[in-house]
Amino acid sequence: MKLFFGEINNGKAIINDEEQQHIVKVLRMKNGEEIHVTDGNGNLASGKLVIEGKKANIEVAEIKEDFPDFSPKLHIAIAPTKNIDRIEFFVEKAVEMGVSEITILQTEKTERKNINIDKLKKQAIAASKQSLRFHFPVINDTVKISDFLKKINPENTFVAHCHENLDRVHLNEIPSLENITFLIGPEGDFSEKEISFLAENNIKAVSLGNQRLRTETAGIFVAAWNYNKMI
């Protein structure tokens, strides 16, 4: 399936401008090729490609609406790594495994303060198309832990950390939930002050096993754990 991103409304589909350029200039696709367009909201248009100069359009033959989204839904709030390539790798792999939402966390030990959220959103779209997702994940801007906690339900929120002297449950002890949120700390982990703050807000702590995982590895591990529940 040759899947592209665009808008779907009233029985019509419009291919995103950047996608049009990619079709014409990079892929050099030809008139009449079968293509598919998703709006990232669970809708899919299928039809034939129409090239007009530098423009690429779709002659819609069929539109399927309301494809089911993944369940359970997973929201990962993760601190950015110093090396931006690592967090970009996490986003790509987590999206491929069906993560519903990603938030970038600012913590006491976070070294990278500036994140190009627009670039992460584009990577999420690319990974969604690659894995044939018709529901694109939400990519949220950077937020402090204190502000993040105001927006989530502590009943289905967990924090993964490496402080062995603090109480933690094993990942497999988490009950089945329709929606789940995970906080993943930075290189150097959350501080004990942050862990205490999270505990005071009824956020339960989780161990991801005996090995100490990198930030992006921990995020991918949680995404894979949730992906296993989908299939």
What's the confidence (pLDDT) of residue 192? Answer: 85
Ramachandran region, residue 99 (left: φ > 0; alpha: ψ -120 to 50; beta: rest)? beta
What pTM was computed for the model?
Answer: 0.92
179-184: strand order across its sheet = 138-144, 101-106, 73-78, 179-184, 157-160, 204-207, 169-170
pLDDT in tens, 74-115: 999 999 999 999 999 999 999 999 999 999 999 988 888 889
What's the confidence (pLDDT) of residue 168? Answer: 80
Domains of the chain (ranges; CATH) run 3-64 (2.40.240.20), 73-230 (3.40.1280.10)
Residue type at 226 in one-letter notation: N
What's the confidence (pLDDT) of residue 191? Answer: 87
Which residue ranges in the chain fall short of pLDDT 70?
164-166, 231
What's the confidence (pLDDT) of residue 166? Answer: 64
What's the confidence (pLDDT) of residue 163? Answer: 75
Contact 92, 63 (CB under 8 A): no
Closest CA to 58 of 40, 39, 35: 35
What's the confidence (pLDDT) of residue 162? Answer: 77
